[in-house]
Amino acid sequence: MEFQTVMHELEALGKERSKKMYMSNGAREPVYGVATGAMKPIAKKIKINQELAEQLYATGNYDAMYFAGIIADSQAMTEEDYNRWMDTAYFYMISDYIVAVTLAESDIAQQVSDNWISSGDELKMSAGWSCYCWLLGSRKDHEFSSEKLLAMLELVKNTIHDAPERTKVSMNNFVVTVGVSYVPLHKEALEIAQAIGGIEIKRDTKKPSQLNAYESIQKQVEKDRIGFKRKYVRC
């Protein structure tokens, strides 16, 4: 399918309500407002196409960038490619739900995420922690080092209260994901979540929100969802 054809199809699927919602969360023009589920029929026709994904991502159009993540060849992309995508990820819905999700299906996911987490850049750090959430929520427990994850939990405990706002959200999500999806460290994640306590997230145009990893994990315990793994990361 040609680049222009995809852009026209995405534009036709755009809804004003979705556009307003995306923009209220940080998206900027150009954006059509396409619901992610509405992209599936186009994705089924195209499948994986890295060349087209690169063209779409380069537009800066939020919907095209999201669709690029769906059809990208995660394994073919190098660390340089992922860094290039991150350089134009201007808000968290791109960094955490496009770039991090695409990265999570590659063999270099942990390596790249580790570099982002240590970068000191708010969105890179957020994407790195988010990628681990996608990984832990979909891959077998034996693919991870318990020692490494425990050290990461300790890092969150020691630094989350001083981290940038968006990074706080992803760090909190990481603790929750370890507690829910990584059974070997469920108890440790709960203890660290309790030690962290509540986190206030300040937002530019909205009221502050409150996060509590301990309460989030306990809710999943009550629903008997400890050990939950999703089948797919990308839609």
pLDDT one-digit tens code per residue, 179-208: 999 999 999 999 999 999 999 999 877 789
pLDDT at 137 over 80: yes
pLDDT of residue 82: 98
pLDDT digits (tens, 9 = 90+) for 52-81: 999 999 999 999 999 999 999 999 999 999
Residue 199 has φ and ψ, to the nearest 5°, of -125, 130
Q: Provide the pLDDT for residue 204.
A: 78
pTM: 0.96
Confidence of residue 235 (pLDDT cuts 50, 70, 90): low
Burial 9-47 (b: 16+ CB within 10 A, else e): bbeebeeeebbeebeeebbeeebbbbeeebbeebeeeee
Query: Backbone phi, then psi, for 53, in 5-degree steps?
Result: -60, -40
Condensed to tens digits (0 to 9), the pLDDT of residues 173-182 reads 999 999 999 9
